[in-house]
Amino acid sequence: MELLKPSPANDERADLVAKIETHSATVGVVGIGYVGLPLAVEKAKVGFPVVGFDRNPLRVNQVAQGLNYIRDVDDDELAAVVYNGRLSATTDFSRLGTCDVIVICVPTPLTKNLDPDISYIKHVGEAIAGQLRPGQLICLESTTYPGTTEEVLLPLLAATGLVVGRDYFLAFSPERVDPGNKRYTTRNTNKVVGGVTPVCLDVAAAFYQQTIFDVLRVSSPRVAEMTKVFENTFRAVNIALVNEMALLCDRLKVNIWDVIDAAATKPFGIMRFDPGPGVGGHCIPLDPFYLAWKAREFDFHVRFIELAGEINIAMPYFVRDKILRALNEQGKPLKDARILAIGVAYKKDIEDWRESPAVKVLDLLEREGARVDYHDPFVPSFQEDDGKLRHSVPLTKDVLKGSDCVVVLTDHTTIDWQTIVDHAVAVVDTRNATRAVRDGRDNVVLL
Ligand code: SAJ
């Protein structure tokens, strides 16, 4: 009886899965930022040879020296996998052909007109296509609109003549990284995976299962892509809802924080969100607009996303209004007022100030002639897109007393809020960071 010769797909698939399961597959991670570096370290820790690819030579040099630059990565773990030779980094994208698995973790920003900018994905796709060979798994992790994997990446790879699902394997698996979250990490956050073909799904699931406890297989890359943008749209819309409630409660003279604390006691049917000075980070302010953009292609207007964007974008202007009113109570104009901002990071206990609404508040105040300083223990200095360089000032009693108004923009847990209230002339608290402060509350104004 003639033995059935396994089809080429089975050959490539079997060989690659064997390499994955023995952790001998070389893993390339393209984009070693807050998503890519934690993934690279997790794979290296279990023995995979990992190569980080990045256009930023500074990051590549830091990895090469075992120097960590991502707060959610353990310094010693990074150093260990670099020193034992498991993790290296390069700016040489021609080495992509040496990788059996390539994970794409590049940014997906927006243009000034809120249109998706998938140029990073396209450039990496072209580089991979130039090196594509049988036996490779390509996984896109960057958050993007449904259809990107099959409409943008697949054509670039198919143009090589290699057959997806037989010669190489293509999947989408959204990153689910919550910067600063100590409880949910790259390892214990369950992973959604969608393959272009069933064989692609099998191979991609086998890869992620090596370091992530729960891998959820879905029916296609589109489902996986849509899952991610839905998750972030859910957050953006609910944050906008609570921000709109804050705007209304300001009119009603109702303390929104008491309302939220009370509503959060309901044990079912509600999820807590808090108002704030706006929405920052590389995901929530941006990702929903990827979905809105794609929806327009189908004559569909995602009104919740547009409305949520309007409300969240309006919050820094509301904060400026609160400061104006707090100064008015002192008979002081905003012009030439000395304002001290506490926090510029986009959320507490992290050092990331990109897309931070706090930066928008500083600019709005300066546009009205205020003299603005900031203190942020996590952000010693930063340079805005227009080149303006800012430095964190020390938090001293004199600095506090010398300010006409202190505005709390980031509720870092390391700040002594009682000291701030004790020595500030007036405090506008956009995060309810002073909730535990008892003395001197009469000079605190909440969002
Ligand atoms: N924010 C509020 N009120 C809230 C929650 C958040 O104003 O109730 C603000 C934050 O201050 C921040 C922005 O929204 O400026 C985004 O907050 P975030 O907690 O969503 O922070 P990200 O963008 O760093 O992380 C999110 C992940 N966060 C959580 O799930 C808690 C998650 O949505 C994604 O896994 C991740 O982005 C991503 O990479 O997509």
pLDDT in tens, the chain (447 residues): 555 544 555 588 999 999 999 999 999 999 999 999 999 999 999 999 999 999 999 999 999 999 999 988 999 999 999 999 999 999 999 999 999 999 999 999 999 888 999 999 999 999 999 999 999 999 999 999 999 999 999 999 999 999 999 999 999 999 988 878 889 888 899 999 999 999 999 999 999 999 998 999 999 999 999 999 999 999 999 999 999 999 999 999 999 999 999 999 999 999 999 999 999 998 888 888 899 999 999 999 999 999 999 999 999 999 999 999 999 999 999 999 999 999 999 999 999 998 899 999 999 999 999 999 999 999 999 999 889 999 999 999 999 999 999 999 999 999 999 999 999 999 999 999 999 999 889 999 999
383/268 same-domain check: yes
379/317 same-domain check: yes
Domain annotation covers residue 2: no
72/173 same-domain check: yes
Q: Which of 99, 200, 249, 283 is catalytic?
A: 283
The Cα–Cα gap between 54 and 61 comes to 10
Is the beta carbon of 240 within 6 A of some atom in ligand 1?
no
109/257 same-domain check: no
Q: Residue 131 belongs to what H/E stretch?
A: helix 119-131
Is the beta carbon of 285 within 6 A of some atom in ligand 1?
no
Q: Whose CA is nearest to atom 26 of ligand 1?
A: 178
E-assigned strand segments in 129-255: 137-140, 169-172, 191-195, 215-218
198/280 same-domain check: no
3-state secondary structure of 82: helix
What is the domain range of residue 304?
Answer: 234-446
190/245 same-domain check: no
Quick check: is 283 catalytic?
Answer: yes
Is there a contact between 312 and 278 (Cβ–Cβ < 8 Å)? yes
Q: Which of 218, 250, 277 represents a domain boundary (last residue)?
A: 218
88/213 same-domain check: yes
Is the beta carbon of 431 within 6 A of some atom in ligand 1?
no
Q: Give the residue, out of 141, 185, 192, 235, with the most ligand 1 atoms within 8 A of its beta carbon, to mutate for a pocket test.
A: 235
Q: Which of 191, 218, 245 represents a domain boundary (last residue)?
A: 218
403/331 same-domain check: yes
CATH of the domain at 357: 3.40.50.720
Is the beta carbon of 277 within 6 A of some atom in ligand 1?
no
In terms of C-beta density within 10 A (0-12 exposed, 13-18 middle, 19 or more buried), how is residue 313 classed?
Answer: middle
In terms of C-beta density within 10 A (0-12 exposed, 13-18 middle, 19 or more buried), how is residue 134 classed?
Answer: middle
User: For the chain, what is the domain count?
Assistant: 2
Is the beta carbon of 235 within 6 A of some atom in ligand 1?
yes
210/330 same-domain check: no
243/214 same-domain check: no
Cα-based angle 307, 309, 313 (whole degrees, multiple of 5): 125
* 87 CA from centroid of ligand 1 (Å): 29
Is there a contact between 197 and 171 (Cβ–Cβ < 8 Å)? no
214/261 same-domain check: no
414/274 same-domain check: yes
Query: pTM above 0.85?
Result: yes
Looking at residue 142, the DSSP 8-state letter turns out to be S
Domain annotation covers residue 432: yes
Domain annotation covers residue 226: no
